[in-house]
Every structure is written in structure tokens, then in C-alpha cells.
Amino acid sequence: MTFELPPLPWSSDALEPHVSAKTFSFHHGKHHAAYVNNLNKLVDGSPLARKSLPEIIQETVNDAAKKGVFNNAAQVWNHTFFWNSMRPGGGGEPPAKVKDRLVQAFGGFDKFKEEFSTKATTLFGSGWTWLTASGGKLEIVQTSNAGNPMTDGKTPLFTLDVWEHAYYLDYQNRRPDFVKTFLDHLVNWDFVLANMKNVK
Ligand code: MN
């Protein structure tokens, strides 16, 4: 197969009690796996099968006839990026280099958390909330469904999946609790710092 499901970067129970192994058995083992399988079927025998996920995402985003390819390719990339956006013992205060940038961009670390929480909890329906950089400017971006800010020229620094399947088994309808837990206990700030180094 052209595209493969990457393993989780930690064991499936490593983020308990915040996100359960049961959630990952579905979210990674079923949802993420299905996006990989669907993408492989959709690009089989086409020139897209030889391209990278970011190339496929950029090439199909505005092509109505390739909507299925875009949705599955972006969901494959987004989920891998989301797993790496979290780590056991994460969240809380970022390293100084990250914190300084957040304070500069949002007027304070608490203000950043407030804006991120508001955008993540008010995103209607299914989608993603991102911290992005473009032209040295940090921004919190909402995308619907499979959307990815790279198609607007923005570099993702981390993301939170706010599709119901990301939290329903553990939090049911309480998306705000999931968002708060993500910020307080899960964000992998080292991953954010590493991504910032790739931004001009
Ligand atoms: Mn998901």
C-alpha cells in the first residue's frame, strides 16, 4: 500500500486518565486507519499515488472532483500531526521560547489559552483548531471537516481534533472539558518548539 498508518508516538494508554486507550483504539485504530485505507483506494493507479500527503492536499483542495481524495489525505496528515501534538505529562507552561512568542502574539499566555479555548469550543460541527505561523505571525485558526491551514500558506505548529469522535467516549458532549484537558495536560510543547524552528 502507498500510504501507511503510522503507529501512535506513545502507548495507547499513555494519555490516561485524560484520553483513554479505548478512545485511541477507535480514533487511531478505526478512524485514522479508515482514512489511510480510503486514500489508498482512491489514488490507486493514479499519479497522486507517488506524491506526498502535503502535495496531494495542496493539489486537490480546490478540485471538486477530487474532494474525496482531499478529505482522506488531509485527515491522514491531520491525525498524525495531532498525535504528535500531544504527549504524556504535556500541557501547562510552554518552554520560554514558545511562551515569549505566544505572549507577543496574544498579549499573554492566559489570553492565548482563552482564545484557543473559545475557538476550539465554538467551532460548529466537525473540524480542527490550530496554532499556526505565517510570515512570523502566530495565529489560532479553525478549519472545518478535513481542512488544513497549509492550503492558506500557514505552517501548523500544533492542532486539536474537535470532531466528536476525538472525545465522545471520554467526555460525551463536554467539548469544553476536553479542550481544557488538552491545554492543561496534553499539549506537546517540544513539538511546537521544533515546528517553530521551521518557520521563517
Ligand atoms: Mn479525528
Cα of 108 from ligand 1 centre, angstroms: 29
Cα of 27 from ligand 1 centre, angstroms: 6
* CATH T-level fold of 21-84: Helix Hairpins (1.10.287)
Cα of 123 from ligand 1 centre, angstroms: 14
Cα of 46 from ligand 1 centre, angstroms: 26
- Burial-class residue 133 by CB neighbours within 10 Å (0-12, 13-18, 19+): buried
| pLDDT at site 135 | 86
- Burial-class residue 43 by CB neighbours within 10 Å (0-12, 13-18, 19+): buried
Cα of 79 from ligand 1 centre, angstroms: 6
Assigned CATH class of 96-196: alpha beta
Cα of 97 from ligand 1 centre, angstroms: 29
Instruction: Find, among 73, 87, 91, the residue nearest to 150 by Cα.
Output: 73
Which stretch of DSSP H or E encloses residue 128?
Answer: strand 127-134
Whether residue 200 has pLDDT greater than 90:
no
| pLDDT at site 1 | 59
Cα of 28 from ligand 1 centre, angstroms: 8
pLDDT in tens, 106-135: 999 999 999 999 999 999 999 999 999 998
Q: Where in the chain is the domain with CATH 1.10.287.990?
A: 21-84
| pLDDT at site 175 | 97
Q: Where in the chain is the domain with CATH 3.55.40.20?
A: 96-196
